[in-house]
Amino acid sequence: MRHFTNIIIGFGKAGKTLAGTLVQHGQDVLVIEKDAMMYGGTCINVACLPTKNMIINSHNGEDYADAFAAKNKLTSMLRNKNYHKVADQETATVLNADAEFLDDHTLQVTDDSGTETLTADRIFINTGSTPILPNIAGLNDSQRVFTSKTLLDQSQQTKRLAILGSGPIGLEFASMYAQFGSDVTVIGQTPAILERYEPEIATAAKADLETDGVSFLLNAQLTKVADTATGLSLTVTTETGSQTIDADALLVATGRRANTDDLHLERTHIETGSRGEIAVNDTLETSVANVYALGDVAGSPQFTYVSLDDWRIMANQLFGDKTRTRTNRPIFANTIFLNPAISSVGQTEVQLKAAGTPYQVLKMATAGVPKAQVIGNPRGSYKALIDPETHQILGVTIYAEEAYETINVIAVAMQNHLPAEVLRDQIYTHPTMTEALNDLFNF
């Protein structure tokens, strides 16, 4: 039985970054990753980076085959870099094996050469999340049903793509496939898309997706999936009755749950929460001392940058002043990469109204930003909500080119309690999308 100071299960964002920190502090660490095609984790191999690479290339007018090849080149380069960044460290070891718990502090790893038992002073679980596949007749039997991961593996472009779920994965794939020229139908169970965003901006984004070739069946239930000689037949029920739609493939994008499948937590005292996530305290420790969970598996908001923040908390707790916790994360934004992207931070008008918080609304059209015209995409608008007295920023939604960059400036301002005037009066480089803030906050 080998013993390590630290074992990290899963080569995800938090885990790989933590491995570097542990090495920096002179400690040994074993990183166990079950899939050699996943060194570096979900984001770089099968999620954020390949999808954004393909989305950008679809917007640039590349055809699917070229974008697919470019994506594979990118992920292979990143995987190799990520592997060596950890494996080449003197006190780090990477093991390609499936890890499971035998008891609270003992692991068993299995690979082609057999099994081995391992122990460690500290164990960090960073096994990410896995797609939720709803229980719909025929869905699990079809060869034409894909997850985001398996669809990204398709070298041939799907010409008629149905998508179940109108969350970020569903909408980003819808936008991307529409840009590549496919016919896309999104089947959503909610009455509207982008429900957590400002409704007028969500409505505009939906109209733009429709212009690009996406159809929506909302307030809808997919009740049956059947393979046909040439594709798929999907039975969808809406308020107006039941209909059948034909497609070449179905992408299931109905959410992701914590990936604890192989860990055999039932052999331990590690507790899970109501959504199957590993229950952790504010400093990411599980119900077993010296066993921690980070990232998606710990029920943290499912973003790479939040997994990275879990690393910050862990590093601060192990080697810093122990002030960082889950409850004092800095304010962070979110983005859905459509054409253009939609980003938001803070609260929406609906939320402020419900809380009885007074606010002033500021709005402007993207078309008024010179850089939007330079890029050639004037779609979209900006909406900010500020405190009428203090001018503190309460929430912002941006539907515009480079929204994902501009929104970070606003998050920094909010985190540091800068009033809107500071953003209004700042000198921004020109021509940039950030310049919009001079006008947006010109109240």
Ligand X SMILES: NC(=O)c1ccc[n+]([C@@H]2O[C@H](COP(=O)([O-])OP(=O)(O)OC[C@H]3O[C@@H](n4cnc5c(N)ncnc54)[C@H](O)[C@@H]3O)[C@@H](O)[C@H]2O)c1
> Which segments are annotated as binding site for NAD(+)?
165-172, 255
Q: Which of 28, 33, 100, 172 binds ligand X (CB under 6 A)?
A: 172
337 binds ligand X (CB under 6 A): yes
CA 303 to chain centre: 4
Query: Which is closer to ligand X, CB of 33 or CB of 172?
Result: 172
Check: CB of residue 86 under 8 Å from CB of residue 11: yes
The CB-side HSE value for 277 (13 A sphere, CA atoms) comes to 22
Residues that contact ligand X, how many (by CB under 6 A): 24
**Which distant-in-sequence residues (6+ apart) come within 8 Å of 221 by Cβ?**
189, 236, 237, 238
Residues numbered 110-139 forming contacts with ligand X, rule: CB under 6 A: 134
366 binds ligand FAD (CB under 6 A): no
Q: Which of 119, 150, 189, 408 binds ligand X (CB under 6 A)?
A: 189
Q: Which of 295, 340, 346, 380 binds ligand FAD (CB under 6 A)?
A: 295
270 binds ligand FAD (CB under 6 A): no
98 binds ligand FAD (CB under 6 A): yes
Query: Which is closer to ligand X, CB of 14 or CB of 222?
Result: 222
Check: CB of residue 333 under 8 Å from CB of residue 402: no
Least Å from the CB of residue 47 to ligand FAD: 3
Query: Which is closer to ligand X, CB of 174 or CB of 364?
Result: 174
185 binds ligand X (CB under 6 A): no
Residues that contact ligand FAD, how many (by CB under 6 A): 36
Check: CB of residue 170 under 8 Å from CB of residue 163: yes
For the residues of 295-309, what is the DSSP string, one character each? GGGGT--S-HHHHHH
**Which distant-in-sequence residues (6+ apart) come within 8 Å of 155 by Cβ?**
65, 68
For the residues of 324-382, what is the DSSP string, one character each? --GGGPPP--EEE--SS-EEEEE--HHHHHHHT---EEEEEEGGGSHHHHHHT----EE
8 binds ligand FAD (CB under 6 A): no
Catalytic residues: 430
Contact string 104-143 vs ligand FAD (x = CB under 6 A):
----------------------xxx---------------
Element at 134 (helix H, strand E): none
403 binds ligand FAD (CB under 6 A): no
